[in-house]
Chain A
Amino acid sequence: MRRRAGIGLAAAATLVLASCGQSEDRSDIYVQRFFGECGAVYGALTDVGAAKGECGIVTALFNAFKAENRDVGFDVNVVAWPGYAQLAAQMAAGDPPDLVTMHQSVISDYQSRGLLEPLDSILAEAGIRPQDFTEAARRGVTRNGAVYGLPWDTVGGLYHVNTRLFAKAGLMRDGRPILPGSAEELLKQARRFKAATGKPYFIQSQVNDPATHVRNLYSFLLAQDVALFPDAQHIRLRTPEARRILQLFRTLEAEGLTTRNQDNPAAIGSFLDGDGGVFPTGTWMIGPFEQEATTKGRPLHDAYAVFPYPRLWGHAAAYVDGHAWVMPKRSRTPAQRRALVRLFRFMAAHDFDWSRTGHLPAFKAVIDSPRFAALPHRTDIAPLARIGAPLPGMVRRQGAIEGLVGEEIAAAIAGTKPIDAALADAERRVNELLAQQQ
């Protein structure tokens, strides 16, 4: 009995001593991410080059980091997309992760409340210089002159093109699609396309997907240098520029030059089955479409190309967003900080691997590299990193704004609301939302 008690006491003392040591020199870091859970397939993979897709690549990357840094306790928490409800809850409870994935458009919501660490010094320690980021990525993570995230990519809308149907419509030159150079030309080409193929020029995801119309609106407003947000509290949508963008898409809809009533899966299915010429959707679809394009017997086989949005007005421009790694404010030991420095360095060094997802790299050196150019279609879409711009960093609640604007302009494009009324309502609703921000 006495012996048992002695063993118990010794074990307890060891535990206490061990935990004391841990609290001072703790190097364990706790990372939270979305992109899904795919441990079943990639749980043990450390060869990043062998992984595919967002989930596979990020899982393999973290496995590799773990394997290379065995002295760092590395805990990864995968949350349901996009994970902001959990993050807000964790912050409210005073227990946020050390590092977390965040859309660049969301950074303002947290940074403006003082919930994120500025990363300038820790990135400098890791040897990462903001001037090495692409222009789009740098703007995406910079707020008030400070960097609040390690940019991980640039994500934006692209014109995914069925070149076989384009050829049938006589819209190919030297093996490349002829994209329109103005709104009038777009209408002309779309009508010609429909007459030649019997199919709509556009395939659009318009149901439950406000981002589709908002991406168009923001991109073409940026092209015309419209100050969409004159200040942090106001949006300006009742402009001739916004009106003519909506008028164009209303005409396309009214003349049946686009698919109607499709949600995202339906629109993807339509594009894969060759039911239309252009599918404006994101960088993340390059991989699946390319796979179809290289599969014999599929409607898209040898018939796929992809480009940034064409310049219809003003200059070439595109609204973009991106993913970033941010550090919520919390106390950290020097050892944890050193571990995070190592992780930042590792992530930056593997930006190319991430670009295999279809997203554009956040580093100029990667985008200019031959190995990036060797990936399918990447030279065609690389200009997006140069012409892409996010909304101004001062604008908060960008996700909610997208929902409000998307709802109103979808009504205008569908013809259920006059364009002027839709723009006025969108402006009023967004301004009411922004007025609530302190």
Chain B
Amino acid sequence: MSAAAAPRLSPVALMLVILGAAIMAAPLLWTLLLSFKPNADLMRDSGTAFSAPYTLENYAAILQGSSLVRWLVNSLIVSLGTTIGVLILASLAGYGFARLDFPFRRTLFVFVLLGLAVPEQAVILPRHQLFAWLGLHNSYPGLILPGLVGPFGVFFMTQYFRAIPKELDEAAMLDGASRLTIFWKVLLPLTWPAQATLGVFTFLGSWNDYWWPLISATRSDRFTLTIGLASSQMNYAQTSGLGFLMAQAVFASVPILIVYVVFQKQIVRAMAGTAAR
């Protein structure tokens, strides 16, 4: 749809949208502002955020922290590893459920969907014991593998494959293409918007994950960024190191921001598509 054809908002609706945006943006701007203030000033009064002096010392303290780069790399490895793994598995499973006919297909699909109803809290103890038994704690596989079990991804990709006309498969089959070729060369390229959406959501979920890394990565050289930044705070960080705390929050959100900026179109398109369905 071209920009010219976009419906115009009424002034009231526009005001409401601006108000909503301001409410959404205010905490982010507040965080940013606080991150540039000396901690001692904020300890007296966080209202000083609106007046000089401002400083970069909180960011300097983060960058001087010797383990920060390590935690950042760990987060990237875990988030990218999880994202790639989920995309591969969810695409294959989605294709299978949408296109292949095999015994207990419906039952299996329902079984996968049941996974959506099981909260992580319910499985965390057996999972932790299993990973301890396998010796996978404090390792990248230990951080990546649990994230690969994503019923939402399978459901999402199944629905997407189902929406693609079967005539495409049939035409390819007439041309002598195998199932794998159809999947790889015909259908998979058509699922790019879904892949992008699922990839972004998986990446964000993995990047922000706190609980599993907290109990699985207990050695600081395997901390992800969320755990590493939390470990660097003292008990009363919100009091004596508020600026530093906010700088950490800003720093940790930069990669996420980049992902949003790069994949903005895909995210919006996918959300709109999901809503329309």
Q: Which residues on A are within 8 Å of B, measured CB to CB?
A: 34-41, 43, 53-55, 77-82, 85-86, 88-90, 92-95, 264-265, 268-269, 272-273, 284, 288
Q: Bin the interface of chain B by size.
A: 20 to 34
Shortest beta-carbon distance from B252 to chain A in Å: 14
Structural contact, A81 and B220, CB atoms closer than 8 A: no
Complex: chain A residue closest to B237, CB-CB: A36
Count, A-B residue pairs, CB within 8 A: 93
Residues in chain A near residue B137, CB distance under 8 A: 89, 93, 95
Chain B's interface: helix, strand, loop or mixed, by majority? Answer: helix
Structural contact, A40 and B61, CB atoms closer than 8 A: yes
Specify which of B46, B131, B234, B235 is in contact with A269 (CB 8 Å cutoff): B46
Is there a chain A Cβ closer than 8 Å to B132's Cβ?
A: yes
Residues in chain B near residue A82, CB distance under 8 A: 235
Specify which of A55, A77, A86 is in contact with B234 (CB 8 Å cutoff): A55
> How far does the alpha carbon of A88 sit from the alpha carbon of B62 in the complex, in Å?
29
Shortest beta-carbon distance from A258 to chain B in Å: 19
Question: What are 25 A-B residue pairs whose CB atoms fall within 8 Å in the complex?
Answer: A34-B234, A35-B234, A36-B234, A36-B237, A37-B231, A38-B232, A39-B65, A39-B67, A40-B62, A40-B65, A53-B234, A54-B234, A80-B227, A80-B230, A80-B231, A88-B215, A89-B215, A89-B218, A92-B128, A95-B218, A265-B46, A272-B43, A272-B44, A284-B236, A288-B240
Residues in chain B near residue A53, CB distance under 8 A: 234
> How far does the alpha carbon of A85 sit from the alpha carbon of B125 in the complex, in Å?
12
Residues in chain A near residue B191, CB distance under 8 A: none
Structural contact, A37 and B132, CB atoms closer than 8 A: no
> How far does the alpha carbon of A409 sit from the alpha carbon of B64 in the complex, in Å?
44
**A81 with B67: in contact, given A93-B132, A269-B43 (CB under 8 Å)?**
no
Shortest beta-carbon distance from A141 to chain B in Å: 20
Per CB-CB distance, the 7 closest pairs between chain A and chain B, nearest first, are: A40-B64, A89-B215, A37-B232, A80-B230, A93-B132, A36-B234, A86-B218
Residues in chain A near residue B236, CB distance under 8 A: 264, 284
Specify which of A43, A77, A88, A265 is in contact with B238 (CB 8 Å cutoff): A265
Is there a chain A Cβ closer than 8 Å to B178's Cβ?
A: no
**A40 with B215: in contact, given A93-B128, A264-B238, A265-B239 (CB under 8 Å)?**
no
Is there a chain A Cβ closer than 8 Å to B45's Cβ?
A: yes
Is there a chain A Cβ closer than 8 Å to B143's Cβ?
A: no
Is there a chain A Cβ closer than 8 Å to B159's Cβ?
A: no
New A-B contacts (19) at CB < 8 Å, excluding given A43-B66, A92-B129, A265-B242: A35-B235, A37-B65, A37-B232, A38-B232, A39-B65, A39-B66, A40-B64, A41-B61, A78-B220, A79-B231, A80-B214, A80-B231, A86-B215, A89-B218, A264-B238, A265-B43, A265-B239, A272-B43, A273-B44
